[in-house]
Amino acid sequence: MERSKKVIVVMPAYNAEKTLERTLDDIPREWVDEIILVDDASRDGTVELARKLGLRVFVHEKNRGYGGNQKTCYTEALKLGGDIMIMVHPDHQYDPRVIPQLVAPLLNGECDAMFGSRMLGGRPLEGGMPRWKYLANIYLTAFENATFYMYLTEYHSGLRAYSRRYLETVNFMVDSDDFVFDSEIIAQGVIHGLRIREIPIETRYFPEASQVGFWRSSVYGLSILKTLVKFKLHMKGLVRYRMFS
Ligand SMILES: Nc1nc2c(ncn2[C@@H]2O[C@H](COP(=O)(O)OP(=O)(O)OP(=O)(O)O)[C@@H](O)[C@H]2O)c(=O)[nH]1
Ligand SMILES: [Mg+2]
């Protein structure tokens, strides 16, 4: 397909040395103009390897967390003139071979963000998703759908593509530096009437791909619920949050 838009893959990395190369091998390069990696003060050789592999690398001196990492990813990608930004976790959990399907609707201007969903017609347990993560995912998703009056099959995917319009419309810099960033940026998109669509994807679960255990996931779940409460209060005009203004 002839492309006039610049597609940039952004990789929020944290200790990704073991899985980075495998992830890169699966990226369909003809669909991508540039790949940038932001290292969140990894303690392994992620930065050296990424440079050796020819990626454009940005380094956080201190660990800022997953949301903080994405803030740098999108800021730098927008500076580089990206029209479509695809987040690919460098832990080889989400399969980037679906990039063509993810990007096409954005190139055609059919929507403002495209998410890969593990729940859309899938059997995530077969990919190794723990049962408790599966259940937490569907219950939280139900709350999110009920709050946003928008239907997605999941809100917690790590494979996402955003248009420049999306990232310039929402003020993602005021979002959390932690995992709940991924939910806040959706809530902001809902408030601004941005259109999100999904395609089915499969994921793999193995130790390097899944560092978030039960405790951190529970905190994450609670911060999602907190975001939903803030969203409602804001929509009802009871409290004004900078995140949503
Ligand atoms: N844990 C962690 N991850 C970070 C940080 N900065 C960036 N990341 C990225 O966040 C991604 C998500 O964390 P994971 O440990 O993979 O989460 P997960 O257990 O796979 O979550 P599920 O996909 O729901 O199973 C990682 O792949 C990293 O690329 C950080 O400071 N801490
Ligand atoms: Mg992972």
The pLDDT mean for the chain works out to 96
3-state secondary structure of 13: strand
- Name which residue sits closest to atom 18 of ligand 1, judged by CA: 210
Q: Which ligand is nearest to the CA of 224?
A: 1
What is the structure's pLDDT at 107?
96
C-beta 13 within 6 A of ligand 1: yes
* Beta-sheet pairing, 160-163 with 113-117: antiparallel
DSSP state of 242: G
C-beta 66 within 6 A of ligand 1: yes
* Calpha distance 130→146 (Å, rounded): 25
pLDDT tens digits, 83-96: 999 999 999 999 99
To test the pocket of ligand 1, the residue of 9, 24, 64, 66 to mutate (highest count of ligand atoms within 8 Å of its CB) is: 66
pLDDT tens digits, 55-104: 999 999 999 999 999 999 999 999 999 999 999 999 999 999 999 999 99
* Calpha distance 61→42 (Å, rounded): 9
Residue 56 phi, psi dihedral angles, 5° rounding:
-85, 120
pLDDT tens digits, 181-220: 999 999 999 999 999 999 999 999 998 898 888 999 999 9
C-beta 164 within 6 A of ligand 1: no
C-beta 91 within 6 A of ligand 1: yes
3-state secondary structure of 223: helix
* Calpha distance 13→50 (Å, rounded): 10
C-beta 69 within 6 A of ligand 1: yes
C-beta 20 within 6 A of ligand 1: no
Interaxial angle between packed helices 181-191 and 214-235, expressed in degrees from 0 to 180 and rounded to the nearest 10: 20
* 180 pLDDT higher than 60: yes
- Name which residue sits closest to atom 16 of ligand 1, judged by CA: 210
pLDDT tens digits, 11-23: 999 999 999 999 9
Interaxial angle between packed helices 214-235 and 131-148, expressed in degrees from 0 to 180 and rounded to the nearest 10: 0
* 2 pLDDT higher than 70: no
